[in-house]
Structure 1
Amino acid sequence: MKPNFALLSKLLILQYLSALCLSQDFDFFYFVQQWPGAYCDTKQSCCYPKTGKPVADFGIHGLWPNYNDGSWPSNCDPDSVFDKSQISELISSMNEKWPSLSCPSSNGFRFWSHEWEKHGTCAESELDQREYFETALKLKEQINLLQILKDAGIEPDDEFYTLDNISNAIKKGTGFTPGIDCNKDSAHNTQLYQVYFCVDTSGSNLIECPILPRSKCGSNIQFPKF
């Protein structure tokens, strides 16, 4: 019997579309904030955005779909490119709360485009492009991380604080256990770099993390000035 190439082609297309749909399902978001002092205090250094030096506050790194087993989808829809016209009313807030510190200095669009195309396209079943960025901004408003730490006596003053104290302060302030990521400066000090929160698939509610990212932190962490 001759193979039915038309039927085989249809089956392959259906298989591809099925895999694509599966790749766009996810279990929760990581909402990630980063401390600019730690980002800049490394060998790679940083470049301030064209709008000037950001305020000394945690900035948004991203809103990332994840699976409960610790893996994650990425670049789910190559046809869904970043369109700055869809976020025109959000740009002022994004410059303030989601600044790019990468070099060369930029206006943020390269950073936001990367975040949408790598991560945001995997959340399109829940959030369109505007909603994706708007959701992250609302989460930033909801979680005033710097104030939570200051209320616990933890300041960005180049001093060292215990990982437990930082984690406990954030849990007390938000009701949920954070993931904490560190980097090392040129003097090899371990610094507070990023804080991860878990959010349900609607992007509306903080949840207890099904899995936390592996921490590179020691027991004592420097909170660098910015």
Structure 2
Amino acid sequence: MVILGSSMLMKLSLMLSLTVVTLANNSGDFHLFYFVQQWLGSYCDQNGERCCYPVTGKPAADFTIYGLWPYYNDGSFPYNCGGGNFDEALIKPMQDRLRKEWPSVTCPDIGRKFWVHEWNKHGSCSKSVLAEIPYFQAALNLKYKVNLLQALAKAGIRPNNQVYPLKAFKKAIARATGFHPWIDCNHNSQGQSQIWQVSMCVDRSGTRLKNCPFLPRGPGNCASKIKFPSF
């Protein structure tokens, strides 16, 4: 009969815990997606940040895709699930659309590395439902479906460096899409709260918007009135 010491039991317990986490992250048993768009005017105007435009030039003044993230039914995210290595050749036919709708403006310019990062960190956790091409196509289709700039313009909300009520942003987007958004803000160098990211919930197929049963984990960080900076 082998008697395990306390240190060995602790090691075994840790190994079991890590195994459970690994299985959970690779199970593909996610609940829904968060489809996240960002306003580059706020990204480039936030305190301590600067933008580096891609080789194709400055992106259009529009909301752009930030990510399509699977999440569990408690609101937490699986990530880095493995086995979903990015194959650049597969997305070449949609590369021009991705450059327009899903650009990166981080410094130094990372170009396609942004898509690699998003697939390996988030897309790999949805690969049981959406392989690489369907994953990126789903994000593009959602971008065309959820036209945030148009929805806000219809409500008289434009990127003109003016301040608008946070409730007005939410109401305009809900009226246009039929579903309530989650809005995150950042702050410019003057400390003003400004619209940055807008998240909508999407079903497991990546095609249909849904009301969010859980809000994204995070502070939200918006004041009651927020700036819509130009870009």
Q: TM-score, normalised by structure 2?
A: 0.88
CA contact (8 A) 2:84 2:123 kept: no
Q: Secondary structure at the match of 2:190?
A: coil
Correspondence for 1:97 among 81, 95, 101:
101
| Alignment equivalent of 1:56, drawn from 55, 61, 70 | 61
1:81 and 2:85 aligned: yes
2:166 alignment counterpart: 163
* Partners of 1:23 and 1:73 within 8 A in 2: no
Shift in Å, 1:83: 1.1
Name 1:46's counterpart in structure 2: 51
CA–CA separation in structure 2 for the residues paired with 1:215 and 1:160: 17
Q: 1:22 to 1:52 in 2, by over 3 A?
A: closer
Contact persistence 2:25–2:80 (CA under 8 A): no
Aligned twin of 1:150: 153
Identity of aligned residues (%): 50
Instruction: Report the 3-state secondary structure (helix = DSSP H, G, I; strand = E; otherwise coil) of the residue aligned with 2:67.
Output: strand
Match of 2:74 in 1: 69
TM-score (norm 1): 0.90
Post-superposition Cα deviations, 1:95-136, rounded to whole Å, max 9, x if no partner, equal: 000000101124x21100000000000000100001100100
SS at 1:168 equivalent = helix
SS for the counterpart of 1:24 is coil
Once the 2 structures are TM-superposed, how far is the Cα of residue 52 of structure 1 from its aligned partner? 0.4
Assess, with a 3 A threshold, how the Cα gap between structure 1 residues 161 and 124 changes in structure 2: closer, same or farther. same
Q: Which ranges in structure 2 are unaligned for 5 or more consecutive residues?
A: 3-15
- Asked if 2 retains the 8 angstrom alpha-carbon contact of 1:54 and 1:96, the reply is yes
Report SS of the residue matched to 2:41: helix
- CA drift at 1:68: 2.3
Q: Which residue type is aligned with residue 202 of structure 1?
A: S
